[in-house]
């Protein structure tokens, strides 16, 4: 489920269990500010930044996203199995799909990061729901539509085929790189590369990597 901002209320949660949350911030002031806002909510169980993994929600704060921050988000979600809320000052068009594809479903603008808004996003992330600002939903729909129109305009390409991340991985497979080399090139973990390959081969009923590369070549992706 993907939704725009809703109202959350102190002291309430849709689940009876407290949600373990670790705050990841670029500086002590931002970290303490987020912690002080979240402490008043009994449904939030604040953890140390090093406490990551399945069932944990990482509240990730950044002014802007650089490759290092994006790599860290991928690690938190893809490699360690956690959920993530991104609190960010600005997000470029090219970064939006990257953020969504790496597993972040809840995004909050820093200028809108009130205590209620943060808790709302944390609850959505813990459930596996999406929670994006209304303006980002429009931008996401537009970007996906552009990708589909571009794919439809290429001869032989199916619009429901491969996503950009899968194409990136398959291009490097076709060049003969192994899992570790692909992970290094794309700033992914090796587990993420394996998950990408497993996901596309299962979804498209492909037998192995060579079959996946052949499919991508035949369909015009690489």
The tens digit of pLDDT for each residue in 137-169 reads 667 656 555 555 555 555 444 444 788 899 899
CA separation for the pair 140, 160 (Å, rounded): 17
What residues pair up with 64 in beta bridges, in sequence order? none
The SS3 of residue 126 is: helix
- For range 24-38, the mean pLDDT: 95
Beta bridge partners of 5: none
Q: Closest by alpha carbon to 169, among 159, 161, 177?
A: 177
Residue 201 predicted with pLDDT over 80: yes
Instruction: Supply the mean pLDDT for the chain.
Output: 80
Q: Please give the structure tokens belonging to residue 48.
A: 């140390």
Confidence at residue 150, expressed as pLDDT on a 0 to 100 scale? 56
Of the candidates 185, 187, 211, 184, the one whose C-alpha atom is nearest the C-alpha of residue 197 is 211
Dihedral sign for Cα 51, 53, 58, 61, please.
Answer: positive
Q: Give the per-residue pLDDT at 207.
A: 64
Pick 210 or 191 by higher pLDDT. 191
**CA separation for the pair 149, 100 (Å, rounded):** 20
Among 20, 42, 23, 188, residue whose Cα is nearest residue 108: 23
Is residue 45 within 8 Å of residue 19, measured between CB atoms?
yes
Per-residue pLDDT, 14: 45
Distance CA 195, CA 31 (A): 32
List beta partners, residue 107: 86
- The winner for highest mean pLDDT among 14-23, 25-34, 46-55, 157-166 is 25-34
pLDDT exceeding 70 applies to what percent of the chain?
Answer: 78
Q: pLDDT over 90 for what percent of the chain?
A: 35
More confident site: 121 or 16: 121
pLDDT digits (tens, 9 = 90+) for 103-128: 787 899 999 999 999 999 999 888 87
Q: How far apart are CA 69 and CA 182, in angstroms?
A: 19
Residues 129 and 4 sit within 8 Å (Cβ to Cβ): no
Most confident of 59-63, 202-206, 211-215: 59-63
CA distance 97 to 94: 7
Yes or no: say if 107 and 99 are a contact pair by the CB < 8 Å rule.
yes
* pLDDT tier at 80, thresholds 50, 70, 90: confident
pLDDT score for 53: 85
């Amino acid at each position: 489920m993907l939704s725009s901002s809703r109202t959350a209320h102190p002291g309430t949660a849709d689940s009876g269990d407290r949600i373990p949350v670790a705050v990841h911030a670029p500086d002590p002031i931002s970290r303490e500010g987020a912690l002080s806002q979240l402490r008043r909510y009994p449904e939030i169980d604040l953890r140390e930044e090093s406490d990551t993994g399945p069932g944990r929600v990482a509240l990730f704060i950044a002014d802007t996203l650089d490759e290092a921050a994006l790599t860290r988000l991928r690690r938190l979600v893809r490699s360690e199995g956690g959920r993530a809320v991104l609190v960010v000052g600005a997000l470029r068009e090219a970064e939006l799909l990257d953020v969504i594809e790496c597993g972040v479903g809840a995004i909050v603008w820093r200028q809108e990061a009130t205590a209620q808004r943060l808790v709302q996003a944390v609850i959505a992330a813990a459930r596996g729901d999406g929670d994006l600002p209304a303006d980002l939903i429009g931008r996401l729909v537009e970007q996906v539509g552009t990708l589909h129109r571009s794919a439809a305009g290429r001869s032989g390409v199916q619009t429901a085929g491969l996503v950009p991340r899968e194409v990136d991985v398959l291009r490097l497979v076709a060049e003969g790189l192994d899992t570790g080399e692909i992970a290094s090139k794309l700033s992914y973990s090796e587990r993420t590369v394996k998950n990408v390959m497993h996901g596309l081969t299962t979804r498209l009923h492909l037998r192995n990597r060579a079959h996946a590369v052949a499919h991508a070549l035949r369909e015009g992706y690489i």
